[in-house]
Structure 1
């Protein structure tokens, strides 16, 4: 395999800028075809992005002999079945987060991955963004001493600009999304924490539908115990009063602290009464760094940047938060 030829399942909004065109900008990578169940929209996407082929059937795209890798960018409810179908068709897979609706589904994918000997990477792309590369570096350097407390708050008003929009608004349907807006945004945050700190020892929480504006819970509270007695507390609320909006994480150590947002490009290191501010610039296609690492992994040039087993860690935490009600 000298070049990764991609088939994109689900060429919707997330692929327009965040990911889609990055596949053509990474070395040894090319988009071969795209698929969307709405044939007119699939054809329009292909025309606008100069892609030769489009399909209205997932089966047809996966069976395309010129495609050796599949990007699954559909809503989460379809991730497991498409990933299994792709692996059994001898295709490697790059799959959006959350990787699956449930822990059991992800464990099923891990078994199929072993059986088929295919490669699967999960699109926890923040791992490859400059802010989080620096955050990992700072924490591992011990610059803030021993980490004691991690405190995360994400409070957003309904219809916040932070929330990606879609025609069907599927993110508010737990049957399709897995658990409402919490399942859309928390994977970014929790994956970074387990990526840096390792597998949690314990997690618990609860989730409630306070406003009753949809079928999805709009309030989630969770606690995690990491190794070395590092404690985490988090709150996610998607029905907050506008003036109360906040998205911030504090990592407090024995010799200082780091304050940052998972959805911005600024981070502050506070130590000895001094504050150092770091500003970062993301690639235009925010997934491009991760896609490059994925292509290199598929080509046997580097390690998997986020395996199914990696993604399973944060998925287990999320499930522990919403199932303890």
Structure 2
């Protein structure tokens, strides 16, 4: 370990690390992936060998005890995020933690206190902030491409099998409460990233389909301090053929429209109509990982601090309580 590089250990090397995150730790500047951990040692070893990672463990404490590792990526299901984050901070490691950061406001407050007391740093993995598509949306907002923003309408409606690979998402004790708790944090974080602090939020969550024991339909409204109003509707049990993935930002002179799983932004204003196209990297977290590495090396400010993760947690509770 040197002062000029971040040496990573990964706790939890499942599907998210396989494609979205893992390769980024090896491709970023001043970054090295030294070790991975998974409770199933055979799967940990398989991941490590396929990705040329030198070390693998089946015990997180062993990984955290490695003195060469100075930063940890926590990519386990949400129910263990707080536990591993606290252990990593206590071990003197920087932390990059998956979303949702934690399961509740109480856990968020505990983590904030731990970060404040620690000599190390924590970043929440809201990686969409640094994808070119969302940077373009923010630039259009910040440069008044459609004038003063008035309100935002988000509709994310998907059939039940939209995201059915990981069944833990349907276990409230593990995920926090279904697909909404897995998908919506990125979207809610973007709204905060675009529009800033809020002063009021309310929502309703129901289990319309009764397919399982978690709420599958959530509606929420946010009043931002700058007067912008947000309305969101999420469903994860909509009949096939009725699915929708659409966010529209309305300004006094036009609209900015995009979806979360396509790579286009549509601008319509009084003076022009334009489509912006993008191509995300396969290892989609790489831009965020680079910004995180730079922050850990004191080359920039925190790209997504624990307080931002706590804000998203509060909004999720407002929408679903």
- TM-score tier, shorter chain, comes to over 0.9
TM-fit CA distance, 1:228: 2.7
How far off is 1:276 after superposition? 0.6
Q: CA deviation at 1:271?
A: 0.9
1:196 aligns with 2:194: yes
The corresponding residue for 1:309 is 307
The whole-number CA distance in structure 1 between the counterparts of 2:307 and 2:62 is: 29
Q: Structure 2: how far apart are the matches of 1:268 and 1:164?
A: 30
C-alpha distance in structure 1 between counterparts of 2:243 and 2:98, whole Å: 27
Paired position in structure 2 for 1:23:
25
Structure-1 separation of matches of 2:118 and 2:312: 24
1:154-165 equivalence runs, <5 A? 154-160=156-162, 163=163, 165=165
Partner of 2:274: 276
Q: Cα distance, 1:146 vs. partner? A: 1.3
CA contact (8 A) 1:203 1:321 kept: yes
Q: Secondary structure at the match of 1:18?
A: helix
Distance in structure 2 (CA, Å) of the matches to 1:187 and 1:270: 27
**Alpha-carbon separation, structure 1, partners of 2:291 and 2:213:** 37
RMSD: 1.0
Unaligned residue ranges in structure 2 (runs of 5+) = none
- The residue aligned with 1:249 is 247
**CA distance, structure 2, for counterparts of residue 120 and residue 144 of structure 1:** 35
Is 1:45 matched up with 2:47?
yes
Deviation at 1:274, TM superposition (A): 3.9
User: Equivalent residue for 2:90?
Assistant: 88
Once the two structures are TM-superposed, the CA of residue 213 in structure 1 deviates from its matched residue by 1.2
CA–CA separation in structure 1 for the residues paired with 2:261 and 2:271? 26
Residues of 1 paired with 2:190 and 2:82: CA distance?
23
SS state at 1:202 partner = strand
Please state if 1:187 is matched with 2:185.
yes
Measure how far apart 1:234 and its partner are: 0.7
In 2: Cα distance, 1:224 partner to 1:80 partner: 27
How big is the shift at 1:164?
A: 6.3
The 5 Å alignment of 1:169-180 reads 169-180=167-178
- 2:286 maps to 1:288: yes
Q: Closer, same or farther in 2 for the Cα pair 1:180/1:282, shift >3 Å?
A: same
How many residues align structurally?
A: 319
Q: TM-score, normalised by structure 2?
A: 0.97
Q: 2:261 aligns with which of 248, 260, 263?
A: 263
Q: Where does the alignment leave 5 or more consecutive residues of structure 1 unmatched?
A: none
Q: Distance in 1 between matches of 2:134 and 2:88?
A: 31
- Identify the match of residue 298 of structure 2 among 295, 300, 303: 300
The equivalent position to 1:148 in structure 2, one of 147, 150, 164, is: 150
Task: Report the CA distance between 1:21 and its aligned residue.
Answer: 1.1
Alpha-carbon distance in structure 2 between the residues aligned to 1:20 and 1:37: 17
Alpha-carbon distance in 1 for matches of 2:205, 2:107: 21
